[in-house]
Amino acid sequence: MISREGLAGWVPAGSLARRFKRGGSMVADDAECFEQARRIQESHRDWLVMWSPWHRTFTAFSCFTPDALVVDEPTPEALVNAMLRVELHYSPTRIDTLSSFSPPSPDQQQRSNVR
């Protein structure tokens, strides 16, 4: 008989390689996570969002960046925050791209208020 310990990809019993809630209902948890991923997808149309039951993470694939970009987070809130950071980074109206912009001087503000 061949020992399983020497096989590629074999994970010994008791390993924490996959996070799994023992005794809990994974089907119900997964259904809720799939629904959360769907709702995130609806509100962020420039992303493909999914729940990965194996990795127990929410994953978002950008559809608007010049290069492929994948964001993985354990919670829906963390995923949305990471997605918003990426959207801000690639936004054409980012503050650092407006380097030629300068706020109006007090004289200019007074003249615009007089009109």
pLDDT 10s digits, 26-46: 555 899 999 999 999 999 999
Distance between CA 22 and CA 9 in Å, rounded?
22
* Pairwise pLDDT comparison (108 vs 56), residue with the higher score: 56
Q: What percent of the chain has pLDDT over 70?
A: 57
- Is the confidence at residue 77, as pLDDT, over 60? yes
* Pairwise pLDDT comparison (5 vs 16), residue with the higher score: 5
What kind and span of H or E run contains 41? Answer: helix 26-43
Over residues 57-74, the mean pLDDT reads 93
Distance between CA 109 and CA 62 in Å, rounded?
41
- When the pLDDT of each residue in the chain is averaged and rounded to a whole number, the result is 75
Write the CA distances from 67 to 21, 63, 97, 112, integer angstroms.
36, 9, 20, 44
- Adjacent-strand bridge partners of 72: 59
